[in-house]
Structure 1
């Protein structure tokens, strides 16, 4: 309930941000929000799921990740080898970087932070410690797509790849995102994707189930391993997540003029429509483009005359997102906020809670929850 309360307060402050003309107060509020979020998340105890791997990695080098991340974490540990110190430093870097990115593209920065926090932002910051660095570096590189400067674009995203390999998907975006696609083509893909999703046709699953024995053993094994990510229990139908994509697609299609942000949203939507049968794979690829939802929603408020309509949509989408994620049984256990100054770090207690919560993993399929598999 703690984070639902924070999201609610952020939304209310975001509404004030929209209608108030006192820029000085809004600037102070935004800085206060940043400081508060950095303190709350930086001094958290063992929150979420992935700390179970990142904590021993930072303290003992138990788990080895991409070189960029390992260098980054070792530089922090070289200053002071304390996990809370690490969290404070990395959270501060993330939020200051997000501040500058959101400020560049959005007029209503407080509302942008509220939307970010509610639509996967909290979980990305808590769980995906490597991914978020790659995402932020990519967001900084968007300006170089606009300016057609390929070298700084590739430098930033190669650094991003050194934090998380999934960021390799960002490299071709230099050639993809700034293109003005015909609206009819985009609409055809969206309608086709909707039919594919709503019909619950499992084309990828059928493809994986084919006999691949004619391939070299290493490739056959890779394809067979993908079966682990396919849940037979996912029924794709008209649901909240589909409705959310329809709303955001319509907003981007009708109002967004920035090709890069609009195309990013289209990619995010298409990943969902065409690959959601793979659940976690779809989510982990889709999260690379979830930033588009933060921008499209916030910028739509600027562009639509009836601001109350868009604010209602924001409340509906953000409220559903944050509640659905935090009221999931496994997250009720693992997202119970405990500040280190009051509760300390109780490894054994949280380890037992993580083990207990894993019984709910299968229930998370298709619910877009960034939890450890």
Structure 2
């Protein structure tokens, strides 16, 4: 038994090291470095009192003012250790992998499969392009234990901390009141059918609601709502894609196995949490189809459901079915990662064996920015 536990620990450590080396020591990938590199360069060190005052001031440049205070604190601490921007990426990935290790140890019956699902479903984008969002997402993941145990104080404290890193954490607050419950099947399938009708019919109803909600909340939310609703780059729908078919099939398949998963896990409240996150993931994808930026940002908040429900599903299968499942998942995973990452700005470099150039990265990103913002939709 001790040898088995030691082997499991070795597997976990190997997964964490691979994750940290791959993501933490990456070069300048995708486009978010265009925001975070100059931000890190302009961040003051902890001994620069005047600089820190300006950095956290409400009179700061719009560029800096939009950054949440918790992330600013992290920037100041890291900049005080080293002026090298790559320290931010390394520490960011280290924080994330520690959260993921805790999460998969606690909830996933297949630790390695959990990491694989993370990479296939939204994880690459979360790590490479969502440095602030990722902290809110992983803090929410940590808070799920308090949601399950019905401890509102710890749950809301955790997500309030998440809110200090990214404003999207506001969407996690109302989940406390229903995420642990089994939703009535009529409600689930009713929303599912309605979502498909609105999606396939490309019926626009979200834009006025988004603008009204932004006006109600004010501040950064109002600016975001107005900006995104007026920009066709962010407010165009997706239409029927492989991604749409993928989500529909996965939703129906996993819901079909609900009873078997509950029987296998023997913890209905935990299963309900992840099933409801899957419901939110799928329904927001369908209902927000007219607002592509909302699909990208909000569905990512609930992608954690895939990371756990696939290992749950795998655990319920017979041996032969597990082999078929593994083969299909392998082929699908390769296809999905290829389709979502085979663009020039995601050409991988690692600082451990290469010397990435910031000027070259800027040149490539600026040259291909229009294609990046208006890709052929595969989501």
TM normalised by structure 1 equals: 0.82
> Which residue, 363, 374, 377 being the options, matches 1:352?
363
Equivalent in the alignment of 1:163: 165
> Which residue, 35, 49, 56 being the options, matches 2:38?
56
Q: How far did 1:37 drift?
A: 2.1
**In structure 1, how many angstroms separate the alpha carbons of the residues matched to 2:92 and 2:278?**
27
> Which residue, 20, 36, 42 being the options, matches 1:38?
20
1:154-202 deviation digits (Å, cap 9, x = unpaired)? 0100000000001101011100201221112211111221122123333
2:300 matched to 1:287? yes
Unaligned residue ranges in structure 2 (runs of 5+): 44-60, 263-270
**In structure 2, how many angstroms separate the alpha carbons of the residues matched to 1:234 and 1:133?**
28
1:277-320 deviation digits (Å, cap 9, x = unpaired)? 21112211111111111111121101233223432442344233
Q: How far did 1:228 drift?
A: 1.1
2:275 matched to 1:262? yes
Residues 275 and 282 in structure 1, CA contact (< 8 A), matched pair in contact too: yes
**In structure 2, how many angstroms separate the alpha carbons of the residues matched to 1:104 and 1:209?**
36
**In structure 1, how many angstroms separate the alpha carbons of the residues matched to 2:224 and 2:341?**
33
> Which residue, 270, 273, 278 being the options, matches 2:286?
273
Unaligned residue ranges in structure 1 (runs of 5+): 1-20, 369-373
1:7-38 deviation digits (Å, cap 9, x = unpaired)? xxxxxxxxxxxxxx966445423311211221
The alignment's C-alpha RMSD in Å is 2.8
How many residues of Structure 1 are paired with residues of Structure 2 in the alignment? 337
Q: Rate the CA distance shift 1:234–1:148 in 2: closer, same or farther, 3 A.
A: closer
Residues 229 and 279 in structure 1, CA contact (< 8 A), matched pair in contact too: no
Structure with higher RCO (Cα < 8 A, 6+ apart): 1
TM normalised by structure 2 equals: 0.81
**In structure 1, how many angstroms separate the alpha carbons of the residues matched to 2:158 and 2:210?**
38
> Which residue, 316, 324, 330 being the options, matches 1:315?
330
Equivalent in the alignment of 1:95: 97
